[in-house]
Amino acid sequence: MRRISPSLGLGLLITIFLVGVALVSLAWTPYPPTRIDILHRLAGPSAAHWLGTDPFGRDVASMLMAGAHSTLAVALIAVAVGVGLGVPLGLSAASSGGWVDQLVMRIADLAFAFPALLTAVMITALAGPGAVNAMLAIGIFNIPVFARVARGAALAAREQDYVVAARAVGRSEAEVMLYHVLPNISAVLLVQMTIQFALAIVADAGLAYVGLGVQPPQPSWGRMLNDAQTYIFRAPLLAVFPGLAITLAVLGFNLLGDGLRDHFDPRMKER
């Protein structure tokens, strides 16, 4: 086992912390995150409310914890959609070659012409705002990403001796892909997953900010930022904490991705 690099260590630490907070929020938050307490609205940080309260008197720390859960859930499903559909597409493009390959890759090219966030806004606005549509709208754009990455890595892996050997002993193309190519490209895919996870967190927050993501009263970081903007003159701190949470989450997954890439393939290490 190679030594764990600082970026991998820090990335792991942040992501484990976030997942931990999200899990804990299912069982416990300092206050119920949706409990309105109008008498203590817009309170600053105190012993009773660590990060203060929002315009409805809801506890900001509790809302952030619950928001971690909803953000991670949206990002997880969005990435799963991309992996689940994109990787099989990329692998079949790589193994069949010819017009199938051309078709899949041209469709992927076409998908990249649509600014992802803009199209996600369009899809959620027209199909109806909400967590499920946000997951799908973000997930759709992960499909061509994973199709491209899986195809590229699979084409390189197919030339390796162990694949040639597997084919020589009579393994079918599907078996070769499933048992020999896929395990060997899993590191590349894992790194891409962390990158897409970070992007999905930003997209989720953006959608929620414009009111198209997770719907109230369910707390979300993006929605909290939007609510905070109205009170930016009276309670500026409200605009700071949710943004810090988003940044921390994105930073964590980016560091994890960088760290994993260097860990799996030291030759790729950024100079």
Partner 1 sequence: MARLLLTRFAALVATLLAASLVVFVVLDVLPGDPALLILGTGARPDTLAALRHQMGLDLPAWWRYLLWIGGILHGDWGVSATYGVPVGDLIAARALVSLPLAVLAIVLSTLLAIPMGVAAAARRGRALDVSLMSAAQIGVAVPNFWLGLLLILLFSVQLAWLPAGGFAGWDKGIGAALGSLLLPALALALPQAAILARVTRSAVLETLGQDYVRTALAKGLTGMAALWRHAVPNALIPVVTIIGMQFSFLLAGTVIIENVFTLPGLGRLIFQAIAQRDLVVVQDLVVLLAGSVIVVNFAVDLAYLWLDPRLTRGEG
Piece in contact with partner 1 (CB under 8 A), picked from 21-29, 76-84, 122-130, 259-267: 122-130
Quick one: DSSP state of residue 45?
A: S
Check residue 271 for interaction with partner 1 (CB under 8 A).
Answer: yes
Give the SS3 label for residue 53.
strand
With CA atoms as reference, report the closest residue to 49 among 30, 28, 34: 30
Check residue 250 for interaction with partner 1 (CB under 8 A).
Answer: yes
Piece in contact with partner 1 (CB under 8 A), picked from 44-52, 72-80, 107-115, 149-157: 107-115
Residue 138 makes CB contacts below 8 A (sequence gap 6+) with 74, 75, 78, 116, 120, 200, 203, 204, 207
Answer for which of 20, 44, 97, 115 binds partner 1 (CB under 8 A) is: 115
Check residue 190 for interaction with partner 1 (CB under 8 A).
Answer: no
Check residue 210 for interaction with partner 1 (CB under 8 A).
Answer: yes
What are the φ/ψ torsions at residue 59 (nearest 5 degrees)?
Answer: -75, 120
In the complex, the smallest distance separating the C-beta of residue 146 from partner 1, rounded to whole angstroms, is 18
Residue 118 sits at the vertex; the CA angle it makes with 116 and 124, to the nearest 5 degrees, is: 100
Q: Which residues sit at the interface with partner 1, rule CB under 8 A?
A: 109-110, 112-119, 121-123, 125-128, 198, 202, 205-206, 209-210, 225, 228-229, 232-233, 236, 239-240, 242-243, 246-248, 250-251, 254-255, 270-271
